Amino acid sequence: MRTFTILSTLLLTLAATPSSAITAEELALKNAEAKGGLARLRALTTVVRTGKLIVSNGQLTLEMRDVTKRTAEGGATRNDAQLQGLSASSAWDGKVGWRVDPFWGRKDAERMTPDDAKSLIEGADIEGPLVDHGKKGHTLRYLGTEDVDGTTTHKLVVVRKNGDTTTFFLDPATFLEIRI
C-alpha cells in the first residue's frame, strides 16, 4: 500500500464546509485533479474490472466483469454478470446496445431500445462526462450544496447534448463524487 501523493497535497479536513464561491468549471477541474489529473484520465484507453455484484438484500452474489474502451464514437462498454455458470451481458458498441439474458433459457442476444441503452452509453465515456465536457457538448451547472448521508456536498449537474442530465455530488474536502 502506498500513500497517494496527489491527495496528500489537498486539504483533507473532513467534515469541511463547502466554499460558496466555487464555480462548476472549478469543481470539474478539482474532480479531475483528485482522480489523477487530466493527462492521466485522457490517456486511458481501456478499463477492465472484475468483482462481485450483490443483489436481493445481500442474498444473491454474482461474479461481475466489465470493460470500457475509448473509441471514436464516444466509447464502448460491456458488463457481464455470472450466476451458476450462466453469463448475462449488456453492452454498447458505439452504435448498438444489446443484451444476453440466459436465465430464462435463451442465450441469443437481443437489441436494447435507445432508452434502455442510455446508462450504458453514458458509462462508455471512459473518463467521465466532467472531463472535456465542452468538447463532448455537455454544459455544467453548479446548484449549490446538498446533504448526502451527513456530508454537505457540492451539487454539480451535467446537461448532455440530448438534454439528459447527471448530477454529481462531490465531497467538499476531496472533490470526489460520493453520489451520482
Partner 1 sequence: MDLGEWGEVGGVLLPFAYEGGPKRSSDRWRTRIETTDLNVPVADAVFAMPQGSAAPAPVPVAAGKPLTLVVKVAASTPVVDAGTISGLYARNIGAAAMSGRVAAVAGRTEKDGKATLFVGAASGGVWKSTDGGTTFRPVFDDQPAQSIGAIALDPSNPKIVWVGTGESWTRNSVSIGNGIYRSTDGGESFSFMGLPESERITRIVVDPRSGNVVWVCVPGKLWSDSNDRGVYKTIDGGKSWRLVLRGPNASTGCGSLDVDPKDPRVVYASLWDFRRQGWTFRSGGEGPDASSGSGVFKSVDGGATWSEITPEKNKGFAKKPYGRIGLAVAPSNPRRVYASVESTAAALYVSDDGGATWEARDKSQWMVWRPFYFQHLVVDPTNPDRLFKMNGNLIMSEDAGKSFSVVGGFTGMHGDLHDLWINPANAKQVFAGDDGGLWLSYDGGARWWKSDNLPISQFYHVAVDDTDPYNVYGGLQDNSSWVGPSEYPGGITSARWETLYWGDGFWTLPDPADARFVYAEWQGGYVARIDRVSHEARDIQPKANKGEKLRFNWNTPLALSPHEKGTLYVGAQVLFRTRDHGQSWDRISPDLTTNDPAKQQQEKSGGITVDNSAAEMHTTIYAIAESPKKKGLIWVGTDDGNVQLTQDGGKSWTNLTKNIAGLPPHSWVSRIEPSPHDAATAYVTFDRHTFGDMGAWVYVTRDAGKTWSALVTPANDKGVRGFAHVIREDGKKKGLLFLGTEYGLFISVDDGARWARFTGGRFPAVPVRDLALQQREDDLVIGTHGRGIWIIDDYSPLRALDTSTLTTSVALLPGQTPQQRISGVGGWANGAAAFVGENPTDGAVITYYQRDRHMFGPMKIEILDAAGKVVDTLPASMRRGLNRVTWSMRLAPPRVPPAVSIAGWATTGPRVLPGTYTVRITKGDVVTEQKIKVALDRRARFTEADRKAQYDAMMKIAALFEDETTLVARTNTLRTAIAERTSEGKGEAIKATLAGLDAKVDEVRKLVVATTEGGAVTGEERLREHTDTLYGALFMYEGRPGPYHLARIAALRAELDEANGKLDALLKIELPRTNEALDKAGLERLEAPPKTVLLDQVSPERAAWLRTLKRKQKKSVTVDDVPVRMWVR
Query: Which residues inside 93-122 make contact with partner 1, applying CB under 8 A?
Result: 93-94, 96, 98, 100, 102-109, 111
What is the C-alpha separation between 64 and 54, in angstroms, rounded?
10
Scanning the structure block, which residue is given the C-alpha cell 501523493?
Answer: 5
Q: Is 147 in the site for partner 1 (CB under 8 A)?
A: yes
Closest to partner 1 by CB, 35 or 133 = 35
Closest CA to 82 of 113, 112, 50, 108: 50
Closest CA to 86 of 99, 74, 102, 72: 102
Contact pattern from residue 52 through residue 91 relative to partner 1, giving x for each residue in contact according to CB under 8 A and a dash for the rest: xxxxxxxxxx-xxx-x-x-x----xxx-x-xxxxxx-x-x
Closest to partner 1 by CB, 53 or 136 = 53
Q: Are 173 and 10 in contact (CB under 8 A)?
A: yes
Q: Which stretch binds partner 1 (CB under 8 A): 11-19, 22-30, 132-140?
A: 11-19
Length of the chain in residues, anyone? 180
Torsion of CA 13, 168, 44, 71, to 10 degrees: 180
Q: Is 134 in the site for partner 1 (CB under 8 A)?
A: no
Q: Which of 41, 121, 130, 158 binds partner 1 (CB under 8 A)?
A: 41
Q: Are 18 and 11 in contact (CB under 8 A)?
A: no
Q: Is 9 in the site for partner 1 (CB under 8 A)?
A: no
| Minimum CB–partner distance for residue 137 and partner 1 (Å) | 19
